[in-house]
Structure 1
Amino acid sequence: MATAPAAPATTAPVSADPKGVGLDMADLDRSVNPCDDFFQFSGGNWLRSNPIPSYASSWGPRNLLGNRTQETLRSILDDAAANRTAAPGSNAQKVGDFYAAAMDTVAIDRAGLAPLKPELDRVAAMRNAAGLRAEIVHLQELGTGVFFRAGVDVDEKKTTQYAVQLNQGGLTLPDRDFYFKDDTRTTKVKTAYRAYMTQLFGLLGDAPAVAQRNAATVERLETRLAKASRTRVELRDPQANYNKLTVAAAQKRYPSLNPKGLLTGMQLGKAQEVIFGQPAFFDEVNAVLKTEPLADLKTYMRWHLVRSSAAALPTAYAEAAFRYSQALTGAKQPAPRWKRMQAATDQALGEAFGQLYVDQAFSPEAKAKALEMVANIRASMAEHIQTNTWMSAPTKAEALKKLNALRVKIGYPDVWKDYSNLKISRESYLKNVLAARRWESRRETAKFGGPIDRNEWGMTPPTINAYYNPPMNEIVFPAGYLQPPFFDPKADDAINYGAIGGVMGHEMTHGFDDQGRQYDSEGNLRDWWTPADAAEFTKRAAVVGKQYSEFSPLDSVRVNGQLTMGENLADFAGLTVVYGALEKQLQQRYGSGPRPKFDGFTPEQRYFLSWAQLRRTNIRPEALRQQILTDPHSPGQYRTIGPLMNMPQFQQAFGCAEGSKMTRSASERAVIW
């Protein structure tokens, strides 16, 4: 259990205590009582002294780590670009040439639209339905996002095989609701969207009136697609998004889409079945392809071709794209070009670039320590399942089976992607971008019919993030995340467990959130819960949903407790489970003896401070509104305080009295694990 609670005094800690690693005491706002507002107490001074840079929409510790990582990556890229003698076809040659071409704005501006002209000509040359469908396949391969999203992924009800999957898409605005809302903020975004389209059509050579008319055509078609799209909350139901049809049945239902021809064009002619995520959406796609004039469909496809390529086109295109993004994020100016092109290199050649990164930035010791922490957290989770008071024995047995089957990936892939078939040169940045997209699309398509690739990663090694993949039942932590302040081998256990440990627990317990719990130990979408246990889980989760829906960061804006349910549940469960793992670690290290304080704080207090300090965020109002509408994560301040308000462990650690703002009463408290 926790050591004797410290009084929530605002005086500085006793100087006799040694200084710790991982927390900066200057960041704390000691004028705030931790039991009133732990978000402000833990980082109020930091928030005041770290304003958002002009090129960013929000700012937090992840951005600071991002800056450090970017400097390392920049050095790698500068060296690679300067190396004109790298072996042809090597990762160093491809990464160096890609980045060099991306940074050569003189060549990009001089080339103008020439590199895109063959693609624009293809769209213009469509003459009939057959040509239209062939071009849809081609533009899907180029990653333009026209009409829908198509690809090959694990079959969620038979995870030993891959399946062809089609899902809703085809929109420019970040969410379907933007097309129908008319509040001030949405109107501002839509005005910027219309201006963006009109500007780009003008840059393509359309007369002003024609450009305006074309923009209206795109908006009209996208509004049709938006109306048929499911909401983000509806998209959180994996069963509803699994609708398998035979190709023959799909052909009958969607004749204008012509799934059979689509699959043949995608080199997937052997597929017998297709999973449609949202069948009613594809009814509308079919109707659009059947009823809309070909000229209007060409306009829509031309728009998405250019929009998806704007960052690789001359300066005027990139500037128009930034003006549109300003309305969404509130950023005052674009990020420096080297940062944007570094991100583009990571996206196009992530594992080639990543190999160069991990050689410099990730030690075997860091990997070993991270694996040890995951093992301890898994053991704590097993204990929580076994001692759970509301779950029956059959459900517990399945839950433990799933937990034991969980795969853990740390740092970087055991088997790297093979880029030998991807040709990259210094001739044209845009050509490189399109070549990389086509290569990735074909690589994905080629998986169909083969064994499941369990070595594959969905994030690149330098990424400062992590994820849980339900059909693969795996948690993945790239090397980029395993650095200070998220992970520091020099810091005490409380800091690492509160930081990267909190993330590990979060990702692990995603397997048991409202979505993840619907997948079994082999990743199959299968109900393994007894009806009574499922009902009890839903009831307990609803308490969490209600709590978060009451959080309001801006006037008339509330967190969407349903959209953020999975992430909130993972925060709740993760923090509780990891706290148990920390207590076990402290017991092993110190037994029943005294536990050292650092900077005047007990290990338990440092655990919660570490969690909170990594979620400090300054965010622009525009970006905050966008986040609440589209992001399944709650804003940082509520990720900080939301779980803690329900944890007696926090109340005890900081000596919070019943009735304090950071303490929910026993009757209001949410308890999952």
Structure 2
Amino acid sequence: MNKMFVGALLAMSSLGGVAALHAQTAAPAKRAPTASAAGAQGPQIGTFGFDTAGMDRSVAPGDDFYDFAGGTWAKNTAIPADKSSYGAFDTLADLSRDRTRVILEEEKAKGSKIGTAYATYNDTAAIEAKGLAPIQPWLNKVKALSDKAGYAALVAEADRNGISIPFGAGVGQDDKAPETYIVGISQAGLGLPDRDYYLKNDPKLAETKAAYQAHIAKVFTLAGEPNAEARAKAIVDFETQIAQVSWTRIDSRDSDKTYNKMAVADLIRSAPGFDFSAYFRGIGTPVDTLIVAQPSAVTGIAKLIAAAPLGVLKDQMLLRSIDGYADVLPQKFDQERFAFYGTTLSGTPQQEDRWKRAVSFTSGAVSDEVSKVYVARYFPPETKAAADQLVRNVIAAMNVRIDKLTWMSPATKVKAHAKLQAFTPKIGYPTRWRDYSDLTITAGDAYGNKVRAANWQHQENISHLGKPLQRWEWGMTPMTVNAYANFGMVEIVFPAAILQPPFFDPKADPAVNYGGIGAVIGHEMSHHFDDQGAKYDAQGRLAQWWTDADVKNFNALEDKLVAQYDAYEPLPGMHVQGRLTLGENSADLAGLSAAYDAYHASLGGKKAPVIDGMTGDQRFYLGWSQVWRRNYREANLRQRLLTDPHSPSQQRADIVRNMDPWYGAFQPKPGQKLYLTPDQRVRVW
């Protein structure tokens, strides 16, 4: 089942419908409306849109391009106490949140729905005064469960409340019939981020697993539950069994492996330990056919449920319920959840101020109501127009690159051009907004607001069944600093908040803009041609539209990229997983290459000016590196290496070592750390 956030630019903690232009000739692309460094008022960053003061010129670009471009910034930039890492994305996210806060404070004074949601979440005194009373009826219902016959219905109710154990289910596009919606189900049930935390023989991960067990015991103790230590151990033992039958993240990102359409009756026969009929009735999707993402895991988890003591199943649900709603329960629960998931797991010393979390809650619970005000105030039409033009230019450049490929057959090239022509770029914000009139937000009821918002979102999702494809929908809010590709929709999506410096500044040097947002555009565009996106045709259908020889040639090139990234070791003993990060690395390589060509096409045959002693090509690659500046806490970096399909920022910046023009721009020498001989450089698109 197609995932909405396929190919998001950065891991999350993914004006609608402008048709992409098709250009197979090498005619120069139109120049996006940007200004030179000497333009009126000038760019927001530096003299031409790049932070030259952040460079470390004592480092040779051929040894460490990331540090050369931003090493001084890295040395002088502390990670804020409430963050697990910090970089360009966070700078803009903070700006977006500050702006949204202004909106919500104004709405609070008006007493509007979003203002009430924000104010009530912020009212910690009222939350504290109520204690566990708001959630107690649900906890009592879980504890009152007397036999496993009622477990599936209880799981369904938890699912509607936003608590997904032991499976995750929802409605999305049918990958092989993309004009229709279908129910999908996938493995879940783990409280730690990945199966490796339970299974891998690593001292640091073992410490984290022990800390997780201690966290569970602390939650039960705070809730007044007896035998906390023994019950915590039983939950961890049960989840370790779930981890053993769970698929790896590498297998779970494979679109072919995870497309398993089957009759619900067949699923029931293969997994008798869980009442799937009652579960699907309970979540409101009583269907005959569905997609099972990881069949052996789903059936394996069902068998574990059948064998597990009822008390363990109930305790796991109690734990997830308290943890899942800890932010709207008394402070001791909120603090304990953060102590484990924030500090132990991610290394973050300090929890965010309450108002920041109130902004995040409201922006998620009533997102479109907030978004409407945000884009009207902070997203000028000229920014959209400039971004639209950049998208057209990068797509045109990719069309030219396809014609030059030596490994792809002529027949497949025709289809690749057709796929580019079918693209729908979405810039800034949706063309339609959701209606929240049936979502009740009540002053003074923070817990109830969160439950009702979760139920509303659940109902909104399942209501897609039987409807025509809703192409206007977005998977991210305009306030989100990110971008994504959606294979089934054949679209690339760029929220308003990312269309700002350092990614994009209409008054910055074009080279920096193309190296920044141009490469981001190319990245999302090329996701539709990465190791998974290439499996979807111009209609968004999961189908092999390449010849067998094309697939063989492509996989051989991609395998070289896997090997290159497997060799990186950001932490002692921990390498980048080249196969897990392949889609993102491939998109970086292809997207930056297409953006480079688009930049040169925009020059219209003229030579780029030298600015501050730097050539156009140098500024282009520096623009790329600038957007990936990021400092990590060790625990956060460890978690990312285990779970994130994106490589760490340094390795993302280092993709330049595969590009011939980078060698011409910075003259790296044989023997330097990043230097690759021409035959070692990975060239795909």
Same fold (TM over 0.5): yes
Given the alignment, which residue of 158, 164, 189 partners 2:177? 158
C-alpha displacement at 1:146, in angstroms? 1.1
Q: List aligned pairs for 1:360-509, cutoff 5 A.
A: 360-509=377-526
Is residue 195 of structure 1 aligned with residue 214 of structure 2? yes
Given the alignment, which residue of 164, 167, 183 partners 2:202? 183
C-alpha displacement at 1:439, in angstroms? 0.4
1:114 is paired with a residue of what secondary structure?
A: coil
Given the alignment, which residue of 64, 70, 75 partners 2:91? 64
Contact 1:188–1:327 (8 Å) recurs in 2: no
Task: Give the structure 2 partner of residue 649 of structure 1.
Answer: 661
Percent identity among equivalent residues? 40
Aligned partners of 2:202, 2:280: CA distance in 1, in Å? Answer: 41
Aligned partners of 1:201, 1:218: CA distance in 2, in Å? Answer: 12
Task: Give the structure 2 partner of residue 275 of structure 1.
Answer: 291
Contact 2:271–2:300 (8 Å) recurs in 1: no
Task: Give the structure 1 partner of residue 53 of structure 2.
Answer: 26
Aligned partners of 2:306, 2:50: CA distance in 1, in Å? Answer: 61
Is residue 132 of structure 1 aligned with residue 148 of structure 2? no
More deviation in 220-229 or 288-297?
A: 288-297
Task: Give the structure 1 partner of residue 612 of structure 2.
Answer: 599
C-alpha displacement at 1:272, in angstroms? 2.0
Unmatched 5+ stretches in structure 2? 1-25, 27-42
Given the alignment, which residue of 615, 620, 631 partners 2:628? 615
C-alpha displacement at 1:381, in angstroms? 0.5
Given the alignment, which residue of 248, 259, 277 partners 1:231? 248
Task: Give the structure 1 partner of residue 322 of structure 2.
Answer: 306
1:161 is paired with a residue of what secondary structure?
A: strand
Aligned partners of 1:559, 1:286: CA distance in 2, in Å? Answer: 33
C-alpha displacement at 1:243, in angstroms? 0.9
Task: Give the structure 2 partner of residue 79 of structure 1.
Answer: 106
Q: List aligned pairs for 1:201-280, cutoff 5 A.
A: 201-207=220-226, 210-269=227-286, 271-280=287-296
C-alpha displacement at 1:658, in angstroms? 4.6
Is residue 44 of structure 1 aligned with residue 57 of structure 2? no
Q: List aligned pairs for 1:86-97, cutoff 5 A.
A: 93-97=112-116
Count residues in correspondence: 641
Q: Structure 1: which 4+ aligned runs deviate by more than 4 Å?
A: none
Given the alignment, which residue of 134, 144, 148 partners 2:167? 148
Aligned partners of 1:294, 1:671: CA distance in 2, in Å? Answer: 55
Task: Give the structure 2 partner of residue 107 of structure 1.
Answer: 126
Q: What amino acid is the match of 1:646?
A: N
Unmatched 5+ stretches in structure 1? 2-17, 85-92
Task: Give the structure 1 partner of residue 643 of structure 2.
Answer: 630
Aligned partners of 1:67, 1:439: CA distance in 2, in Å? Answer: 27
Aligned partners of 1:255, 1:194: CA distance in 2, in Å? Answer: 30
C-alpha distance after superposition, 1:433-472 (max 9, x if no partner)? 1110000001111110111110111101100000001111
Contact 1:123–1:135 (8 Å) recurs in 2: yes
1:457 is paired with a residue of what secondary structure?
A: coil
C-alpha displacement at 1:603, in angstroms? 1.5
Contact 2:502–2:626 (8 Å) recurs in 1: no
Aligned partners of 2:681, 2:418: CA distance in 1, in Å? Answer: 29
Aligned partners of 1:625, 1:652: CA distance in 2, in Å? Answer: 35
2:595 is paired with a residue of what secondary structure?
A: helix
Task: Give the structure 2 partner of residue 669 of structure 1.
Answer: 681
C-alpha displacement at 1:38, in angstroms? 1.1
C-alpha displacement at 1:136, in angstroms? 0.9
If the length of structure 2 is used for normalisation, what is the TM-score? Answer: 0.91
Aligned partners of 1:251, 1:234: CA distance in 2, in Å? Answer: 23
Given the alignment, which residue of 176, 191, 200 partners 1:172? 191
Contact 2:220–2:228 (8 Å) recurs in 1: yes
1:160 is paired with a residue of what secondary structure?
A: strand
Contact 1:217–1:299 (8 Å) recurs in 2: no
Higher relative CO (Cα under 8 Å, sequence separation at least 6) belongs to 2
Task: Give the structure 1 partner of residue 20 of structure 2.
Answer: none
Q: What amino acid is the match of 2:235?
A: V
Q: What amino acid is the match of 1:647?
A: M
Contact 1:245–1:275 (8 Å) recurs in 2: yes
C-alpha distance after superposition, 1:237-285 (max 9, x if no partner)? 111111111122222222332222222222222x220111111112122
Contact 1:473–1:511 (8 Å) recurs in 2: yes
C-alpha displacement at 1:43, in angstroms? 0.6
Given the alignment, which residue of 77, 82, 87 partners 1:55? 82
C-alpha displacement at 1:184, in angstroms? 2.2
Q: What amino acid is the match of 1:204?
A: A
Contact 1:98–1:424 (8 Å) recurs in 2: yes
Aligned partners of 2:117, 2:289: CA distance in 1, in Å? Answer: 38
Q: What amino acid is the match of 1:616?
A: R
If the length of structure 1 is used for normalisation, what is the TM-score? Answer: 0.93
Q: What amino acid is the match of 1:484?
A: P
Q: What amino acid is the match of 1:640?
A: A
Aligned partners of 1:501, 1:201: CA distance in 2, in Å? Answer: 50
Aligned partners of 2:332, 2:202: CA distance in 1, in Å? Answer: 30
Aligned partners of 1:289, 1:272: CA distance in 2, in Å? Answer: 23
Aligned partners of 1:116, 1:630: CA distance in 2, in Å? Answer: 31
Aligned partners of 1:98, 1:446: CA distance in 2, in Å? Answer: 24
C-alpha displacement at 1:390, in angstroms? 1.1
Given the alignment, which residue of 319, 332, 346 partners 2:363? 346
C-alpha displacement at 1:659, in angstroms? 4.7
Contact 2:521–2:591 (8 Å) recurs in 1: yes
Contact 2:198–2:206 (8 Å) recurs in 1: no
Given the alignment, which residue of 328, 335, 340 partners 2:352? 335
Task: Give the structure 2 partner of residue 12 of structure 1.
Answer: none
Aligned partners of 1:437, 1:262: CA distance in 2, in Å? Answer: 17
C-alpha displacement at 1:521, in angstroms? 0.9
C-alpha distance after superposition, 1:457-506 (max 9, x if no partner)? 11011000000011111111011111111111111211111111111000
C-alpha displacement at 1:183, in angstroms? 2.0
Task: Give the structure 2 partner of residue 316 of structure 1.
Answer: 332
Contact 1:218–1:303 (8 Å) recurs in 2: no
1:622 is paired with a residue of what secondary structure?
A: helix
Task: Give the structure 1 partner of residue 553 of structure 2.
Answer: 536
Task: Give the structure 2 partner of residue 293 of structure 1.
Answer: 309
Aligned partners of 1:184, 1:293: CA distance in 2, in Å? Answer: 30
2:186 is paired with a residue of what secondary structure?
A: strand
Task: Give the structure 1 partner of residue 567 of structure 2.
Answer: 550
Contact 1:140–1:146 (8 Å) recurs in 2: yes
1:329 is paired with a residue of what secondary structure?
A: coil
Contact 1:659–1:665 (8 Å) recurs in 2: no
C-alpha displacement at 1:181, in angstroms? 2.3
1:499 is paired with a residue of what secondary structure?
A: helix
Aligned partners of 2:313, 2:407: CA distance in 1, in Å? Answer: 55
Contact 1:221–1:300 (8 Å) recurs in 2: no
Q: What amino acid is the match of 1:314?
A: P
Aligned partners of 1:346, 1:661: CA distance in 2, in Å? Answer: 44
C-alpha distance after superposition, 1:111-161 (max 9, x if no partner)? 111111121122122223332121111011111111010111100111010
